A and B are shown apart, each in its own frame.
Chain A
């Protein structure tokens, strides 16, 4: 974790509304090196909005402001659409929740991944095809040639997600943002996909931001965790220290999650302190 890939200082995102503005993200600050950073929050916490802000994927009506938002020296706040197109896929990439909605249903797996490679790597078709097959192997797909010719609707959930990962990583980005990548998957498949992500991140020295509502998964997979509430980052803590969290919301979240290890007669509930909104 020597140099920071991503530096975010005082990031705020607001959306205009019919009666008032919605502050989706408030004064968020953090850095990301070549590590696994988890962002945990419930619905409305702003975690997805923050992820999309980092990739310039918010609608134009959203107002994104920050003191600093830079990736490897590039000021993301000043990016034009062309700048974003050069960054996305090639340097920064995103894996989303449900591959069903992110993969083009009328193109085969191989074509889609190959296209991404062609777009970003300035290479020829044959090379793109080879890279695609190698990438499919890297995500532990047993029969890459077969899957190359399949359409998205022919893939199971876990396979679809692996194809997504392959597509997002083929251009060899340094930063990957994963937004609920395993929420739609069965728990046994979940861990397989996480293992693949883990290996890839390690082998390529990537930075990974894992956005999720699943505290158990994030705390076991990530190195550091950011807890978000109502648009703010209320705590930044090492994953293994979660049990000793300081912020009451984090502690409440940990206490409210049922666990296999201990039996509690009653789960702690989160009493929302309006202080947390400040």
Chain B
């Protein structure tokens, strides 16, 4: 579904060149949930944005749904790929109701039955019809994230990119959203890429996981191997150990 070969993203910050992503290659099969994990500065979010066309990038191959992804995406291209952002407080327009927000993609793409589809989308993400005409500031963080997910899925894209979707949420809310995502990827037959700094979250939802460090791909391992610690790279081992919590033994 998604093929990435030798992807690089370079930013120019204050005269210096920063290689946010350096020669990364991987493939995501149809229906797969692929995880990208790394610490800050690893480039994991940048990869996602490059695939979505939000940042300029260079690559040998960047294919989405079998087609090469152009720098300038057409409206039809946009139907194939949607995004859920990290911050539920910043990803919804403060002056638009939930209804407005969900109608927008349908209006842009001239879809029929807007009213019905908005109602269905709200129900799909576990919100009540009472939420439909609220403004974002009248919703909790978890509810906003549900709206963001509903918005991403309302056009039924085959591909969903998620950038730290639960990092800003409480543990109990995170659990609800992760369960929701698990349910939706089934019912919507989604191919997704999930980016997170939290190894446990990624291991919970993903089949295969890419480990990133400072813009470079360290290795790709299966969720099972991650749990059992069967990894080849040193860094991955360190990451897993650190994620298990504090340990006095390794002092």
Residues of A within 8 A of B (CB): 42-43, 157, 186-191, 194-195, 198-199, 213, 215-217, 219-221, 252-253, 256-261, 263-270
Residues of B within 8 Å of A252, CB to CB, are 172
How far is it, in angstroms, between the C-alpha of A195 and the C-alpha of B249 when the chains are bound? 10
| Residues of chain B with a CB closer than 8 A to A259's CB | 200
The answer to whether B134 has its CB under 8 Å from any CB of chain A is no
Contacts of A219 in B (CB 8 A): 245
* Chain A residues whose C-beta falls within 8 Å of the C-beta of B91 in the assembled complex: none
- Contact flags (1/0) for B24-66 with A, using CB distance below 8 Å? 0000000000000001100000000000000000000000000
Contact B246–A221 (Cβ < 8 Å): yes
Task: Find out whether the CB atom of B239 lies under 8 angstroms from the CB atom of A270.
Answer: no
For residue A222, which residue of chain B has the nearest CB?
B246
Q: Which of B40, B170, B175, B251 contacts A267, CB < 8 Å?
A: B175
Q: Is A256 a contact partner of B242 (Cβ separation < 8 A)?
A: no
Q: Do A42 and B170 form a contact, CB below 8 Å, given A157-B40, A187-B242?
A: yes
Chain A residues near B226 (CB-CB < 8 A):
260
B contact residues, total (Cβ < 8 Å): 32
Q: Tell me, rounded to whole Å, the shortest Cβ–Cβ distance linking B195 to chain A.
A: 15
Contacting residues, chain B, for A258 (C-beta < 8 A): 175, 178, 198, 200-201, 203-204
Q: In the bound complex, how far is the Cα of B175 from the Cα of A245, in angstroms?
A: 19
Residues on the B chain within 8 Å of A256, using CB:
171-172, 174-175
Give the A-binding residues of B (Cβ under 8 A).
39-40, 170-172, 174-176, 178-179, 182, 197-201, 203-204, 223, 226-227, 238-240, 242-248, 251
Q: Which residue of B lies closest to A216 (CB)?
A: B245
B39 with A188: CB separation less than 8 A: yes
Tell whether A267 pairs with B179 under 8 Å between CB atoms, given A42-B170, A43-B170, A186-B39. yes
Beyond the given A215-B171, A257-B175, please list 11 additional residue pairs across the A-B interface where CB-CB is below 8 A: A186-B39, A194-B246, A260-B226, A260-B227, A260-B243, A260-B244, A263-B223, A263-B227, A265-B182, A266-B179, A266-B182
Flag if B171 contacts A257 (CB, 8 Å).
Answer: yes
**Closest A-B pairs by Cβ, 8 of them:** A220-B245, A186-B39, A256-B175, A270-B172, A267-B175, A42-B170, A258-B200, A258-B204
